[in-house]
Amino acid sequence: MLESCIRKKRQEKEILLMTHIVIGYPSFEDSFQIVKEMVEAGVDLMELQIPFSEPIADGPVILKANQKSLANGSTVQHCVDFAKQVVRSFDIPFLFMTYYNILFKYGIRSFASMMSDIGLHGVIVPDLPPEEGEEYLQAMGEKNLAPIFIFTPNTSDERMKKIAACGNGFIYCVARKGVTGSETTFTSEFHDYLERCRNATTLPLALGFGVKDKADVDFLTGKVDIAVIGSETIRLVDQKGVEAVGDFVRGLR
Amino acid sequence: MDSRGYYNGFGGAFIPEILVSTFEELSKAFQEVKNDPGFWQEYKEIMSSYSCRPTPLTFAGNLTRHFGGARIYIKREDLNHTGAHKANNVMGQGLLVQRMGKKRVIAETGAGQHGVATATMAARFGFECTIYMGEVDVARQRPNVFWMERLGAKVVAVKDGTRILKDAINEAFRDWVTNMDTTHYVLGTACGPHPFPEMVTYFQSIIGKEARKQILSLEGKLPARVYACVGGGSNAMGIFSGFMDDPVELVGVEAGGKGLDSGRHASRLCSKDASIGVAQGYKTYFLQDSDGQMKETHSIAAGLDYVGVSPILSHLKETGRVRFEAATDKEVVEALSLTIRKEGLIPALESSHAFARAYQEAPCLSQQDIIIINQSGRGDKDIFTIADAFSDPGWKEFIIQKAEEYNA
Ligand SMILES: Cc1ncc(COP(=O)(O)O)c(C=O)c1O
């Protein structure tokens, strides 16, 4: 179970790091190498994004990575094979991240079975609010997988409770309005928001959107369980190449 | 329809969590205006004083004689301000934005029609305005970009994805998830997450309400068939909704592009290339591959060049209430040419799809039958596209000369 796995790791570390890749970007070989660098640098869990042609919740950096991966010919089956290889090779929990249409076309139940067979722990689907997720929740539940749901600064206390009741593993708290990839300033309003998140659930909290360096991770330590670094590592790979990833991650905490 | 906007399994609201409260607010505001009898009156008044409502229902005597079958009537949405039915939706949403107290509007546009309409509305109501438009469409609809900018809107050329309408919608959503507190997204067609399909249909239903009344007073009976082109489905839903409970056959005409077998079309409801999926916030038929990745689409008409279609129309296809057909680029240009010559009317390329299908069917109906074609927009402002479609030599010469003048 993802939640107990996170709790166990948290006994050893003050804050966990979750990183993200878009599968097949810049290439499948590079993707594998990036995962390797990240795991060896001590990342605690990872999101593997299956690219989608209409990623409405993603900002320009991840959007372009989605497009490039698809343009290179990535298929869902390639991504599944990749995940299988990664899970076999590295001993941390991996999650899928993708948009609902990918699950829908694969078949929700088949998708859950596939995840379970491979040994993935859960999935983040940013365009699936719990109200639309009846079949999804059931399928994930049957396979003991964690459907990761999202809190945002616009989510009311009441709704947070409702969402938390559907979620499992951890709750992904979005730091601010907007899409992935732009800067976040952590203000006093932000403290109130985190407090609201904390009060709404006993699940571990992950925080993402705009987390990019050691200062951000330090700031979040003691406030949340997991810091999520998304677009920043893609930017890094674009600018400095795959080899730069390991040192970057080691410098985060 | 249930409270999450489902029509027999189509529709819904697949939205990022950050927008959930914005959609709740919008749904509430829309329910309020729907239940306020004064609102429709206010809407009708602004549409008659600012646009040209009620738009006429024109008897096409020459075309009727030419085909020798059904009596052909044309609903003149081209006579709206800015030249298309898009004005109806935009002014309706504008009034709603005023009530919600927001100060900025954003919109996607394909043909540029919806963008121009939104920009006029923003100018009139004093809203700030940003329009997202695929780079490909910016190139093929330059005159509309000119007008949007003159009207004070900021036009953003979208360079991601296939660089057409669907990509402009994604970009508009990205703006909205950042600026929802001040901003309303004026979606241009009867697609997207609930309540947009219902809301856009509601504003466009003014077309069908008028058309039904007009045909009954002109002819004393209902038409046998009503034709409308289908991009996202707003003009079709608008005119169809007036005849939904009548014994009238409703025909939606999609973009057949280079032909349904060519793979180069935008036909979601009458080709084998589409399947049910979830994207851009709603469930409907999409042109997508077996993985669920959206395909490239093609149409001579930018406004029909879209991967999805109104969930309400997907529902009406499955129940059989609406029949769907496709018209190819070539058939569309021929129908446009004939309409111009015979009636002196200049339909938009989008609208010409409805004409093309109606012309194939009119001769097979009896002279007692009536058909109505929805002329969703006018073509004369699409002069660049239409001149290209006709490959007009004099026009080309003029453009070359004009370019030389600018280069001088
Ligand atoms: C004149 C005209 N007709 C039709 C359409 C297609 O949209 P809908 O199917 O929503 O009516 C457009 C879209 O831009 C348009 O400009």
B235 CB under 6 A from ligand 1? yes
What is the rounded (10 degree) CA torsion for B207, B213, B215, B218?
-140
The whole-number pLDDT of residue B381 equals: 74
| Tens-place pLDDT, residues A163-198 | 999 999 999 999 988 877 777 777 778 999 999 999
Residue A154 has its nearest CB partner, among B18, B275, B293, at B18
User: Rounded to whole angstroms, what are the CA distances from B283 to A55, A148, B25, B324?
Assistant: 15, 22, 22, 19
Give the position, in ligand 1's atom list, of the atom nearest the Cα of B112.
14
| Strands of the sheet with B128-134, listed across from one edge | B154-158, B128-134, B104-109, B183-185
Question: Per-residue pLDDT averaged across A233-250, rounded?
Answer: 96
Across chain B, what does the average pLDDT equal? 96
**Which two structure tokens, joined as six digits, stand for A144?**
């003991």
Question: Per-residue pLDDT averaged across B42-57, rounded?
Answer: 97
Q: What residues of chain B have any CB closer than 8 angstroms to a CB in chain A?
A: 4, 12-22, 160-161, 166, 170, 173-174, 177-180, 275, 277-281, 288, 290-294
* Neighbouring residues of B234: CB distance < 8 A, sequence distance ≥ 6: B85, B86, B89, B188, B189, B190, B200, B201, B204, B310
What secondary structure letter does DSSP report for B373?
E
Pick the CATH number of A2-246 from 3.30.360.10, 3.40.190.170, 3.20.20.70, 3.40.50.300: 3.20.20.70
| Tens-place pLDDT, residues A54-113 | 999 999 899 999 999 999 999 999 999 999 999 999 999 999 999 999 999 999 999 999
The whole-number pLDDT of residue A197 equals: 98
* A10 CA to centre of ligand 1 in angstroms: 55
The whole-number pLDDT of residue B129 equals: 98
Residue A148 forms beta bridges with which residues? A124
Percent residues over pLDDT 90 in chain B: 92
Q: Are A217 and A17 in contact (CB under 8 A)?
A: yes
Sign of CA pseudo-dihedral A181, A182, A183, A189? negative
Second-level CATH architecture of B6-48+85-196: 3-Layer(aba) Sandwich (3.40)
The whole-number pLDDT of residue B43 equals: 98
For testing the chain A interface, which of B10, B162, B291 should be mutated: the one with the most A CBs within 10 Å?
A: B291
**Which two structure tokens, joined as six digits, stand for A253?**
């905490």
Please tell me whether residue A26 adopts helix, strand or coil conformation: coil
Question: Per-residue pLDDT averaged across B174-179, rounded?
Answer: 94
Give the position, in ligand 1's atom list, of the atom nearest the Cα of B190.
10
The whole-number pLDDT of residue B2 equals: 55
HSE at residue B314, side-chain half, CA atoms within 13 A, is 28
Percent residues over pLDDT 70 in chain A: 100
Q: Is residue A174 within a helix (H) or strand (E), and if so which, with residue range?
A: strand A171-174
CA distance B185 to chain A (A): 14
Concatenate the DSSP letters of all residues of B1-64 into one string: --TT-EETTEE-----GGGHHHHHHHHHHHHHHHH-HHHHHHHHHHHHHTS-PSPPEEE-HHHH
Please tell me whether residue A203 adopts helix, strand or coil conformation: coil
Residues B20 and B278: their CA atoms lie apart, in Å, by 17
Question: Per-residue pLDDT averaged across B344-371, rounded?
Answer: 98
Q: Do domains B6-48+85-196 and B53-83+206-389 have the same CATH topology?
A: yes
B113 CB under 6 A from ligand 1? yes
Q: Kindly report whether the global pTM for this prediction surpasses the value 0.90.
A: yes
Pick the CATH number of B53-83+206-389 from 3.90.226.10, 3.40.50.1100, 2.10.109.10, 3.60.130.10: 3.40.50.1100
Q: Which residues of B touch A81 (CB under 8 A)?
A: none
Split at pLDDT 50, 70, 90, the class of B162 is confident
For testing the chain B interface, which of A22, A50, A54 should be mutated: the one with the most B CBs within 10 Å?
A: A54
Q: How many CB atoms lie within 10 A of CB B275?
A: 14
| Strands of the sheet with B274-279, listed across from one edge | B6-7, B10-11, B282-287, B274-279
**A179 vs B170: CB contact, 8 Å cut-off?**
no
Of B164 and B15, the structure prediction assigns the larger pLDDT to B15
* B200 CA to centre of ligand 1 in angstroms: 12
Chain A residue with Cα closest to B173: A56
Question: Per-residue pLDDT averaged across B332-349, rounded?
Answer: 97
Percent residues over pLDDT 70 in chain B: 100
Please state the domain extents for chain B.
6-48+85-196, 53-83+206-389
Q: Which residues of A touch B180 (CB under 8 A)?
A: 154, 177
Distance of CA B82 to the CA centre of its chain: 13
